[in-house]
Amino acid sequence: MQEDQYEFFAPFAHIPNRYECCRIHAPSHGSFDVFIVIETQTHEPVTVYVNDDAGVAFMASRYPESQCIRVAPEHLTLESQQKGCQVEGYLKAQEGPIQEAHLVFQCTHESALKAVPYGNKGFSVWGSQWSCTGVDMEQEAQVTGFVQTPQGKEEFHQSSAIITQGSFGHIQSLQK
C-alpha cells in the first residue's frame, strides 16, 4: 500500500499514552479489533494484540516495526454499549507485555463530545513509514478494571480515560 488511505476507528477507548482498545475499519483489510500497548510514545513502535487474520495482515503490511501478537478470538474482545458511552475490552495472552486485561470505560455524565485534531504529515505512527492526520470525537470517561503484566497487577478504579465516539484518519506515506 503506497497510496493514501482513510480509516475509521470505533469503538475506541483508551487510557492516554498507555492502553487502547479499538476496532479499526480499513478499506485495505476490513474491520478487526486490537488491544494496543504504548510503552513509550505513539511515534515509537508499540505492541498490538489482534485476534484474526485481518489484524495480522494489517500489522504486517502497515506497521511491521511494531510487535504484533495474535491471540484466540475469545481472548480479545471489544464491546460497545449505551450508544458508545460504555466500551469494554478484554485481553488474555501468553506472550508480550500483557498477560490479561479487563477494562470497562464509561463516559462521565457531564462529558461533552469534542472534536480533537491529531497528527501531522510528518508524524511517524508507531515508528513506521506512515503518518496519520485526523480528528477524534472524544468524551471524557472513567475506566475500571485491571491490567496484569509479568511485573504485577495494575488496578483502575474510575481512573481518567477517554472514549472516542469515532476517529477518522488520513493515512499517508512518509516516503513520498
> Grid cell 478470538 — which residue?
73
- Given a contact cutoff of 8 angstroms between Cβ atoms, the answer to whether 46 and 126 are in contact is yes
The reported pLDDT for the residue numbered 176 is: 58
Percent of the residues in the chain that have a pLDDT greater than 90, as a whole number: 69
pTM: 0.93
Q: pLDDT tens, 52-104?
A: 999 999 999 989 999 999 999 999 999 999 888 999 999 999 999 999 999 99
Given a cut of 80, whether residue 41 has pLDDT beyond it is: no
Split into its structural domains, the chain has a count of 1
Which grid coordinates belong to 74? 475469545
Mean pLDDT rounded to a whole number for the chain: 91
Q: Could you give the CA distance from residue 15 to residue 149 in angstroms, rounded to a whole number?
A: 16
Q: What is the mean pLDDT of residues 117-142?
A: 87
For residue 35, the enclosing domain spans 5-173
pLDDT at 142: 97
Cα–Cα distances in Å, from 92 out to 110, 121, 141, 165?
A: 33, 35, 24, 25
Task: Report d(CA 76, CA 16) in Å as an integer.
Answer: 20
Helical (H) or strand (E) element with 173: strand 152-173
Percent pLDDT > 70 in the chain is: 97
